[in-house]
Structure 1
Amino acid sequence: MQDLVIPAPDRPTLPTSVGGRFPVRRVYCVGRNYAAHAREMGHDPDREPPFFFTKPSSALVTDAADTAYPPGTDQLEHEVELVVALGRSGHDLSVTDALGLVWGYGVGLDLTRRDLQAEAKRLGRPWDLAKGFDASAPIGTLVPAAGVDPTSGAVELRVDGDLRQSGDLADQIWSVAETIAELSRWVALAPGDLLLTGTPDGVGPLQRGDVLDGSIAGVGTVHTRIV
């Protein structure tokens, strides 16, 4: 092995319900995968299928830690999502084979600098600084895929106890299997990859001091406080 000229960065990991930790490689997100959310953002889900963007693995917030309010925005918003954790490699997969890559599932938050995203859309620029900033992906404990049905289950997010988002995995435009298969056409998927699968409608602003509790029936929870 060659000597490193700087120390190698730590690889982020997520807690699991089986005691060990899940090492994270890459984080993919699918946009506008719930019709009601697509409409609230001003888009037509019948004309515009979901698409993919990424966050760095360093964006993770784990173990119910506090989440720092990011600089450069006055409009931080929440999006609660199902997280899919891959344990096997694959590319150009069929929908039938896609779920065979899944190690487990969790609940996560796609935090968004909405004002920066709106400006990027207006100028036709990438979303990186709107979506992929530090501490933009709080994620809860992962559970093994066995026994989890990723096609249905109530999805909720509460902020300071008040219900903000409410939907169901059955409302997804693309199922988890279809989303994995589609993504595998564009990149070679590998163990450690995460996929955040979109959010129901009801996204909204956050302030310092807000306490977020997300849940998906049959999957788990995510908890963080904005500081």
Structure 2
Amino acid sequence: MKHAKIRFEGQDHAVTVEADNAVRLADGRLLNEDQVQWLPPASGSMFALGLNYADHAKELAFAPPTEPLAFVKSPGTYTGHNQVTWRPDNVAYMHYECELVAVIGKPARNVKREDALQYVAGYTVCNDYAIRDYLENYYRPNLRVKNRDATTPVGPWIVDVSDVPDVSNLTLRTWINGELRQEGSTADMIFDIPFLIEYLSSFMTLQPGDMIATGTPEGLADVVPGDEVVVEVEGVGRLVNRIVSEADFFKNNKA
């Protein structure tokens, strides 16, 4: 089953997703995908992994890490399916990152690897955009690289764990304006989801709604205002996002 959060006629709704991505409201109404505003399906903290695919580390000429390189993204960075994000003015390189995301379903503390998936509510997709200009250290991404408002599309929904029986061999793909630019497999993860839950929960408590974004494979490319970027994880979801300029984004999204 797919669970989503949407906004319709000024009201937020938790919904299930049916055939052709239609959503059904509590009153029984069935709405098409383009009739609603898609919201991020979870709103906890996001623990994101850097260099967690061997091919991506090689692409950047780095040795694979021997311990997870995790950083935290705040909820203010999230945006939803079919929404826009922005490229800062006067930067040279902004790239997408297609990622499988595990969503925590119950408090997790000192969880053993063999029990880890019992703490996962389901899976979703994110596009963890990064500004290469601001990167000071691949092993420790700074805030300007990964924590800008509305620059991490998440969604469109959360798929139940039981509907994705094997997350260890899923295909990830990214298209820019319809052209396939990135393709990889979760089989190439250095640290898999059970390991990451055991690792993170060994020193902190993961809470329901927290997310673990598991990294991206090789195949990054620059994106610019006007581009449509689609990221997809096999069996989980297809997440669409459009890029606008910094000036246009903040002109249309005044506080």
TM-score bucket (shorter structure): 0.7 to 0.9
Distance 2:159 2:140 in 1: 36
Cα deviation for residue 98 of structure 1 reads 1.0
SS of structure 2 residue aligned to 1:204: coil
Structure 1 residue corresponding to 2:57, chosen from 38, 54, 67: 38
Distance 2:209 2:13 in 1: 9
Instruction: Say if 1:69 and 1:150 are closer, same or farther in 2 by CA, change over 3 A.
Output: same
Cα deviation for residue 15 of structure 1 reads 7.2
> Which aligned pairs between 1:1-227 and structure 2 lie closer than 5 A?
17=17, 22-45=41-64, 48-71=66-89, 73-117=91-135, 120-121=136-137, 127-141=142-156, 142-148=158-164, 149-227=166-244
Distance 2:230 2:52 in 1: 21
Could you tell which deviates more after superposition, 22-31 or 202-211?
22-31
Could you tell which deviates more after superposition, 139-148 or 160-169?
139-148
Deviations 1:123-174 (A, max 9, x none): x975111111112210122211112121111110011111111101111111
- RMSD over aligned Cα atoms: 2.4
Cα deviation for residue 207 of structure 1 reads 0.5
**1:14, 1:62 within 8 Å by CA — same for their partners in 2?**
no
The one-letter code matched in structure 2 to 1:130 is: V
**2:228, 2:240 within 8 Å by CA — same for their partners in 1?**
yes
**Unaligned regions of 5+ residues in structure 1, if any?**
1-11
Instruction: Say if 1:72 and 1:54 are closer, same or farther in 2 by CA, change over 3 A.
Output: farther
Instruction: Say if 1:25 and 1:220 are closer, same or farther in 2 by CA, change over 3 A.
Output: same
Match of 1:9 in 2: none
Cα deviation for residue 23 of structure 1 reads 4.0
**Unaligned regions of 5+ residues in structure 2, if any?**
1-11, 26-38, 245-255
**Percent pairwise identity:** 32
Distance 2:58 2:15 in 1: 34
The one-letter code matched in structure 2 to 1:51 is: L
TM-score, normalised to structure 2, is 0.76
SS of structure 1 residue aligned to 2:99: strand
How many residues are matched? 212
The one-letter code matched in structure 2 to 1:37 is: H
Instruction: Say if 1:35 and 1:73 are closer, same or farther in 2 by CA, change over 3 A.
Output: same
**2:71, 2:141 within 8 Å by CA — same for their partners in 1?**
no
Cα deviation for residue 54 of structure 1 reads 1.2
Deviations 1:11-56 (A, max 9, x none): x9997648688441211101111001011122111x5443100111
Report which of the two has the higher share of strand.
2
Could you tell which deviates more after superposition, 187-196 or 136-145?
136-145
The one-letter code matched in structure 2 to 1:63 is: H
